[in-house]
Structure 1
Amino acid sequence: MTLAELKQHFITELQTIYNKEETESIFFIYLEDKLNLKFDLSHEIEFTSEISSDLKQLIAGQPIQHITGKAFFYNDFFFVNENTLIPRPETEELIELIRNDYFQSQDLSIIDLGTGSGCIPISLAKLFPKAKISALDISEKALKIATLNAKKLNVDIEFFQKDLLEDILINKTFDVIISNPPYIRNLEKEDMHQNVLNFEPHLALFVENDDALIFYERVIEFAKNHLKPSGTIYCEINQYLGEETKVLFKKRYKNVTIYKDISGNDRMIKATNS
């Protein structure tokens, strides 16, 4: 079949779970990242058993990034699997916020709390090549992927397996503490796509309805011993809990600012005493 016919086949098979725009995006990602092909209407391709199997997984809701084994984030491809969150474009905006604040800085010390695939500290390491960067995560399997990504992209990150909900003592202080922690309340699950609910790690996504800010409390607790006096905290936040999150940070920090993402939702918070 031609690639044009394969594209139409994808649209037909996936139309019950994705709209046409989403399906076309999935098809082009599959074409380039899995088949290593550029789209040419008349290019002939064999409809192999592997393509058939991949399409069945997509119909079942498997994210395209799990089928290709990689996700594009901030100019690079990162290995991902079922043990890591798929990096989101909104998180790139968090990287940009730090880049804009520290573009003249050199010898920074940075730590990422809850690193997953490592996309945040690795992207920062490439932006700030002289920085000393650390990252932690509770999941050993996620840290294996993060370590692979750091090696592939040739950056030096010090990884720790730690639980943010427990007391953490690392013999270092940092200019920047950054975190994209679990922040989606269980009550918000019904609004989420099944490919997220069924295939991405709930440990990295969800919090209890009555304790939705628990990880931000732990970030603040960690910062008591590990943030330099002139340092800054940056976090991605739940768009529905922006003001509540700001009130929490204002209890300890003089300057707290919420930033909206490209869609106009409360998405990032920055806190500092300097």
Structure 2
Amino acid sequence: METLMHVRQAYLAQLSALYDEEEAKSLFQIAAEELLQLSRISLTMSLQQTWPAEALTPLWSCLERLKQGEPIQHIFGRAPFFGYTFRVDEHTLIPRPETEELVDLILNENKQHPGLRLIDIGTGSGCIAISLQKNLPSSTVTAVDVSKEALAVARANAETLEAAVEFRCLDILEWELAFGEEQFDIVVSNPPYITQSEKQAMHANVLQHEPHTALFVPEKAPLLFYDYIADFALHHLSANGKLYFEMNQYLANETKDLIQKKGFKDVKIINDINGVARMLSARKQAKMIANLDV
């Protein structure tokens, strides 16, 4: 017999090399609530309670996996996002709070317009596309990704959450071959934007367990995807249609400059809740000549 407090102390001690104390506390709390079916309040009240060793075995097993750097979202196979629960695995990025802010921005600026046509480029788990469709139910939402494995996860999420999203497997770097005369009112993307030089500052569990194709861009072409997606938007956004990006905070001004040179108007950098330059929005002019040589 042992107490949950003892297990909690082990989490804090054994995860200290990977996580700070607050993160380790949070991981213990998530694991205990999940594996012991305890609410947050009942967990707090049960810390001094003794438990049979076999009842706590799953918590110890979870700790061993966490010590190897495996994200807790992968251990349980799901992650929260915008009030929904999304299935995730090694083929998809784990949805992050910063991206919730991007969804919130789009909803706040467009919820008064019914019947919108949206496309999410690089959809991964489908969290952006599905959350937008659930909150803009009259909209038509398309989501694309180059990874068949990621799209399988996204389709499963859409089915579970009953979201009407059309998924397509394609490489946006070859968009000219994939789209005809389709028009969209909103283009949104959280594309790869981390440069190779930024790797050393990243958490080991991200580097070892999340898909590198969804994270990294070539050092010599850090705005590669923004360039191509902006060109796609020039051709396939409707007049006054909107373009939204999540972006690398260290390249915010360069990203804004790129989009302005393409001819977009009302280009804005938006800070996230932590004051970090994380999002960009822009508008296609009603009459716009595409400049694809930037």
Q: Does 1:121 align with 2:129?
A: yes
Match of 2:47 among 41, 44, 47: 41
Which residue in 1 is equivalent to 2:204?
194
- TM-score scaled by structure 1? 0.96
In the alignment, the residues of structure 2 paired with residue 55 and residue 248 of structure 1 have an alpha-carbon distance, to the nearest angstrom, of 45
How far is the alpha carbon of 1:45 from its aligned partner? 5.2
CA distance in 2, matches of 1:170, 1:41: 60
Query: What residue is the counterpart of 2:8 in the other structure?
Result: 7
| 1:260 lines up with 2:271 in the alignment | yes
**Could you list the runs of 5+ residues in structure 2 that have no partner in the other structure?**
286-294
Question: Contact 2:145–2:168 (CA<8 Å) still a contact in 1?
Answer: yes
Matching residue of 1:24: 25
CA contact (8 A) 1:165 1:215 kept: yes
Q: How far 1:19 moved relative to its partner?
A: 1.2
What is the DSSP-based 3-state SS (H/G/I as helix, E as strand, rest coil) of the residue aligned with 1:135?
strand
Return the letter of the residue paired with 2:278.
Answer: R
Instruction: Indicate if the aligned counterparts of 2:238 and 2:284 stay in contact, CA closer than 8 A.
Output: no
Structure 1 unaligned regions, length at least 5:
none
Q: In structure 2, what residue type is equivalent to 1:189?
A: K
Give the direction of change, closer, same or farther, for the CA distance of 1:130–1:31 in structure 2 (3 Å limit): same
User: Of 164, 167, 171, which aligns to 1:156?
Assistant: 164
1:158-237 alignment, distance < 5 Å: 158-167=166-175, 168-237=178-247
Q: Structure 2 length as normaliser, TM-score?
A: 0.89
Provide the C-alpha distance between the structure 2 equivalents of 1:216 and 1:34, rounded to a whole number of angstroms. 41
Instruction: Give the equivalent residue in structure 1 for 2:150.
Output: 142
Bigger radius of gyration among the two: 2
1:35-66 Cα shifts (integer Å, max 9, x gaps): 43231224425355543332211101111110
Residue in structure 2 matched with residue 70 of structure 1 by the alignment: 78
1:77 deviates by: 0.9
Verify the 8 A CA contact 1:174 1:231 in the aligned structure 2.
Answer: yes
Q: CA–CA distance in 1 between the matches of 2:284 and 2:152?
A: 35
TM-superposed CA distance for 1:171, in Å, is: 4.7
Deviation at 1:105, TM superposition (A): 1.5
Classify 1:147/1:171 alpha carbon distance in 2 versus 1 (closer, same or farther; 3 Å).
Answer: farther
Contact between 1:113 and 1:177, CA under 8 Å: does it hold in 2?
yes
Give the SS at the match of 1:112: strand
2:252 to 222, 242, 248: 242
The CA RMSD measured in Å over matched residues stands at 1.4
Structure 2 distance, partners of 1:80, 1:170, is: 32
- What are the equivalent positions in structure 2 for 1:52-63 lying under 5 Å apart? 52-63=60-71
Answer yes or no: is the 8 Å Cα contact 1:114–1:138 preserved in 2. Answer: yes
* CA shift in 2, pair 1:170/1:141, >3 Å: farther
CA distance in 1, matches of 2:138, 2:268: 27
Distance, in Å, in 2 between the alignment partners of 1:179 and 1:23 is 31
Q: How big is the shift at 1:154?
A: 0.9
Question: Does the 8 A contact of 1:4 with 1:42 survive in 2?
Answer: yes
- Taking the aligned partners of 1:33 and 1:116, their CA distance within structure 2 comes to 25
Cα distance, 1:34 vs. partner?
4.1
1:3·1:45 contact (CA, 8 Å) conserved in 2?
Answer: no
In 1, the alpha carbon distance for the partners of 2:181 and 2:78 equals 34
For the residue of structure 1 that corresponds to 2:172, the secondary structure is coil
Contact 1:95 1:124 in 2 (8 A): yes
Q: Which moved more, 1:115-124 or 1:251-260?
A: 251-260
The percent of aligned pairs where both chains have the same amino acid is 45
Match of 2:283 in 1: 272
Check the 8 A contact 1:233/1:272 in 2, yes or no: yes
